[in-house]
A and B are shown apart, each in its own frame.
Chain A
Amino acid sequence: MIDPVLALLIFGLAVVLVAGLLWPDRGLVPRLVRSFGTTERVRLEDTLKHLYKCEYAGRTCSVDSVAGSVAVSRHHALELLGKLEVLELASASAEGFHLTDQGREYALHIVRTHRLLERFLADRTGIEPADWHREAERREHSFSPEETDSLAAQLGHPLYDPHGDPIPTALGELPALTGSPLTALKANDVASIVHLGDEPPEVFEALAAAELSPQMLVRVLEATTGRVRFEAGGRELVLPSVVARAVTVEPLPEADPMQGSNETLASLGAGEGARVLGIHPALQGPQRRRLLDLGLVPGTRVEAELRSAAGDPMAFRVRGALIALRRDQARWILVDRGDPRGSEA
């Protein structure tokens, strides 16, 4: 029989070896897959996408911006741009680099796939918001135009991705960029979020953590240099200007009723009732649909009836049925206690 110490040592080594090989993201196998996955074609496509984004935003690309966005050396970036020129997908001028018509078409396909994938990840999977962009970046290069079309059909031809970016149609139609950064608003201004920047990832993570999403209404409470204090989705938030600048908003003339409330279903205690104002726009996909199907539409009267023995979930009386909702779900439902207590729904 093998000595137990030796056996444990061999076992330990095997565990370390397997972990080193297969550990998500940092293991040898994921690394290899990634490095083989990032072929020259992928880099060329990323370059095209970057050129397209510059064009859409009305900026001009430089070798430096390409190098930064594709994560390659300046030398390599120059090489990539050269190859695109040979392929007649991009052209160089005195101001910088531009897309040719053919290049724009190619770039739009990638952008369309990317945004559809983000929509897919947001609506149909349980993947965290912070991972949507990265995951879409990884998958967008393996789609043919037909596959992208069928993805679009499967998702019901969505118009916007979860960050508020418009999704180009198969023919490449795209509305013009409008709106201004959140930092441009003054105190008491009310605006609706139209877009959240998804790059750099750190900024988007901060926005995702703040649970902001397109279609949400914001009311600025205080705008100073360096930070913005504002109200959104029933909560008060403070963002540093660097992050707030990535939030594009469209000012609104008047306030929406949803803006009036700071409360969600999660804030009700057992025995308390309220009227539903709406479901937070950030909650999309199957979860939102389920809540709507249960009858949690604006105007519905809801009574918090029971708290589970462990404190969470809570059971609410909704249209005659007793529905248990987790705190995680209840906090997406904005409510108003304003109605007189005990009024019949």
Chain B
Amino acid sequence: MPTTLSRHRGAPSPQPADLVQLGLQPGKWDTLVALAGNPNTGKSTVFNSLTGLRQHTGNWPGKTVIRAEGTFAYEGKRVKVVDLPGTYSLQAGSADEEVARDFILFGRPDVTVVVVDSTRLERNLNLVLQILEITDRVIVCLNLTDEARRHGFAVDDEALAQQLGVPVIPTVAREKEGIPDLLRAIQRMADGETAARPHRIEKLPAELEAAIAQLIPAIEDAFPGIPNARWVALRLLNADESVEGAVRSGEIWAEGKEEGEEVLEVAATLRWTLSPGFHDRLMEAVFGAAESIARASMIKGLKKAKYDFDLRLDRVLTSRWLGFPLMLAILSGVFWLTIEGANVPSAFLASILVDTLHPALKGLGEAASLPWWLNGFLFDGMYLATAWVVSVMLPPMAIFFPLFTLLEDFGYLPRVAFNLDSLFRRAGAHGKQALTMCMGFGCNAAGVVATRVIDSPRERLVAVITNNFSLCNGRWPTQILIASIFIGALAPAAWAGLLSAAAVVSVALLGIIFMFLTSWLLSRSVLKGEATTFSLELPPYRPPRVLQTLYTSLIDRTLIVLWRAVVFALPAGALIWLVANIPGGSGSLAELFIGWLQPFGVLVGLNGVILLAYVVAIPANEIVIPTILMLTALIAGPAGVGEGAGVMFERGLADTGELLRLGGWTTLTGVNLMLFSLLHNPCSTTLYTIYQETKSWRWTALSALLPLAMGFVIVFLVAQVWRLAG
């Protein structure tokens, strides 16, 4: 057995305490594999091919932010794979890098697989070389070899393996090519059958070498047998806080005597001998090595299939004259397909879930002689609210998200970010916010999740907080209905449709204006001090895989979003039914609340019904309209309708308009409702997602209160000016 690997035999295998801290349950696997790599190297695809899981993968740098894990069995061994965040480096400069580095260092994986993009070998080797400094149990997965071939070159994997001193496995993960080889290599390394003589960075500046030479004996003295003393020395000279902590506590090497403090003192004195820019010199040395290794293993001059197809396409898609028109055409196409395509299935779902199944269920309840209140609570409240949400939300999302994912998979979306960046830059935001904003038109919660592709802390927060200004799927129905009733009515019948469509589009555009305005304000006020690190990598175009995209985007985005919406719609439906049916004051609780809210509602050009509807509809925007209709009927409608009232009434447009006017609605109420529907707090699903993504109550509260305050100010001002003018 090669001696280089003996430390893993001798060392206590994965330390339970560390692993629990890293979120892993010890003892559930035989082999622990860490998957590292640059962003956008197909790391998630490799993960999926290994584990059989369907993690969403996109042609986007920086997709995996939360660590994904999967387990599979190979030749009777349980293998656990942990997908680390994609990083360019392991200097622990960002949260992602820290997660990846700490896992490789303290998680002590049996094997670390570094996924490398063959077409960007030099840049990717930077990370490989850094990982090789920490551990020698590395396998390089040379992915996207097909793409390299398409661009007219190949990487000699044997030469590369020789240079790096660790196994190199060429793969095309999308086609599952090479995955069996990778599995075998993982198993061999885990069994200790692989001899590794990892490459180490040599040509460091003299002053740095001198300092390292003095520090290494101190480290080896404190931690006998430590395999990566040189790397630890470098990190200590770089004053890496978490390595310092690990040295102090002795965690850095299990067999240490915990005499870390002395080492730190030596490092602190040596640090004064280094010139301030030595980190730059270090990176220079790493890239120097990467360059020569890449050069030595590159096979050039193969026949190019499509000579710089990418470049030509890019020249068109980002050109001064065609860039924006093409972008508008493509995005409008997506929205048009979504809206047009969703009509039929939406109506179909509504007819099944609402028109057929609901009476059937109620009948069933009566047949089972449920008391009227339980029957109403279950079916008029909870079921009906959920059915409405599903029939309104599912079809557009099932169309919008796959289309969007196809564009993403192809690689077009980063070009949109590239084109629009200067606009966003002026607002203190990141070009990628254009994408999360578009995603928000589908669903704000999905838009907030999508902000993960923005790797700069400040810009990401801006994108999270302002996503709500994208008029989401759940709010379009409100806009369209109210515009048809109140705005369309202002024009002759022939023009009514056009005018109301224009009104809805104006509201959506107003949302974009508010998004820019708020981004600008945020980046200059509360987010002023947040760090910013802009970078945007334009990945090569890749032919989209239609079927797989349909499948994963359906699972990943559509169903998850829908599931969350259902979870929130059930209690909302229950709440609506309760306020409408529990007696309070002279009538129901709802009437009592509406009475309280009415004066303020009228002041801002809305009314008590709308405000109450927005309170109970916090869980999901979709149920605002049904709630408003139900409550209006309760207050102003024909006597007796309120009795046992459910969530909604199925009525024609004219009837609905008549009902609302009976409830005291004017054109002003309609206009203000449209504005308020744009500018109010995000739904609870989105808020929950914001909290999940930011882990901060402060930013969650700001995301809720800021648009709400803006909404009230705007509708108030509109109401006063309207009244003055009229």
Contacts and interface: CB of A to CB of B under 8 A. Distances in A.
A294 interface: yes
A289 B724 contact: no
B320 interface: yes
Contacts of B721: 4
B603 A2 contact: yes
B343 interface: no
Given A11-B716, A294-B535, A319-B120, A310 B280 contact: no
A281 interface: yes
Given A125-B529, A315-B418, A159 B88 contact: no
Size category of the binding interface on chain B: 35 or more
Interface string A166-207: 000000000000000000000000000000000000000000
B379 to A, nearest CB: 40
Contacts of B640: none
Interface string A218-246: 00000000000000000000000000000
A126 B121 contact: no
Interface string B592-605: 00000000001100
A308 B93 contact: no
Contacts of B533: 286-287, 289-290
A325 B422 CA distance: 11
A323 B535 contact: yes
Contacts of A157: 239, 268, 271
B89 A293 contact: yes
A53 interface: no
Interface stretch (B23-31, B311-319, B478-486, B494-502): B311-319
B94 A318 contact: no
A310 B419 contact: yes
A295 B123 contact: yes
Given A127-B529, A156-B238, A215-B276, A308 B421 contact: yes
Given A126-B458, A154-B241, A308 B318 contact: yes
A329 interface: yes
B534 interface: yes
A279 interface: yes
Given A159-B272, A309-B320, A324 B418 contact: yes
B323 A297 contact: no
A300 B724 contact: no
Interface string A144-158: 000000000111111
B720 A7 contact: yes
A308 B531 contact: no
A312 B585 CA distance: 63
A7 B239 CA distance: 60
B667 interface: no
A308 B323 contact: yes
Contacts of A309: 318-320, 323-324, 327, 419
Nearest to A153: B241
Contacts of A324: 418, 421, 431, 535-538
Contacts of B89: 289, 292-293
A322 interface: yes
A124 interface: yes
Nearest to B716: A11
Contact of A298 (B120, B239, B276, B284): B284
Contacts of B425: 312, 326, 328
B120 A126 contact: no
A298 B539 CA distance: 24
A292 B283 contact: yes
Interface in B234-250: 238-241, 244
B276 A159 contact: yes
Interface in A120-144: 121, 124-127
Most buried by B among A7, A8, A306, A324: A324
A253 interface: no
B319 A281 contact: no
A290 B535 contact: yes
A22 to B, nearest CB: 11
B194 interface: no
Contacts of A7: 603, 716, 720
A287 B280 CA distance: 13
Nearest to B97: A293
A281 B91 CA distance: 19
A286 B94 contact: yes
B93 A289 contact: yes
A311 interface: yes
A249 B321 CA distance: 49
A273 interface: no
A24 B320 CA distance: 40
A236 B123 CA distance: 34
A46 B452 CA distance: 44
Most buried by B among A2, A300, A315: A315
Given A4-B724, A313-B422, A323 B536 contact: yes
Contacts of B534: 287, 325-326, 328-329
Contacts of B525: 24
A319 to B, nearest CB: 4
Contacts of B287: 295, 297, 300, 319
Most buried by B among A124, A287, A293: A293
Interface in B100-130: 119-123, 126
A255 to B, nearest CB: 17
A13 to B, nearest CB: 14
A295 B125 CA distance: 10
A7 to B, nearest CB: 5
A126 B430 CA distance: 14
Interface string B521-546: 00001001111111111111000000
A306 B314 contact: yes
Given A125-B531, A310-B422, A313-B422, A322 B537 contact: yes
A260 interface: no
A306 B315 contact: yes
A294 to B, nearest CB: 6
A295 B294 CA distance: 14
Contacts of B724: 4-5, 8
B149 to A, nearest CB: 15
B574 interface: no
Contacts of B540: 322
B123 A321 contact: yes
A285 interface: yes
B97 to A, nearest CB: 9
B120 A320 contact: yes
Contact of A322 (B277, B320, B531, B538): B538
Nearest to A24: B525
B723 interface: yes
Complex A-B, nearest 3 residue pairs according to Cβ-Cβ distance, in ascending order: A309-B323, A156-B239, A324-B536
10 contacts: A5-B724, A7-B716, A160-B276, A281-B277, A289-B279, A312-B425, A319-B291, A324-B418, A324-B537, A345-B291
Interface of B: 88-89, 91, 93-94, 119-123, 126, 238-241, 244, 268, 271-272, 276-277, 279-280, 283-284, 287-288, 290-291, 311, 314-315, 318-320, 323-324, 327, 418-423, 425, 431, 458, 525, 528-540, 602-603, 716-717, 719-721, 723-724
Given A7-B720, A293-B93, A322-B539, 19 more contacts: A1-B603, A4-B720, A125-B531, A156-B239, A157-B268, A159-B276, A292-B279, A293-B88, A297-B284, A299-B284, A308-B421, A308-B422, A310-B419, A313-B418, A320-B119, A321-B123, A324-B536, A325-B534, A345-B291
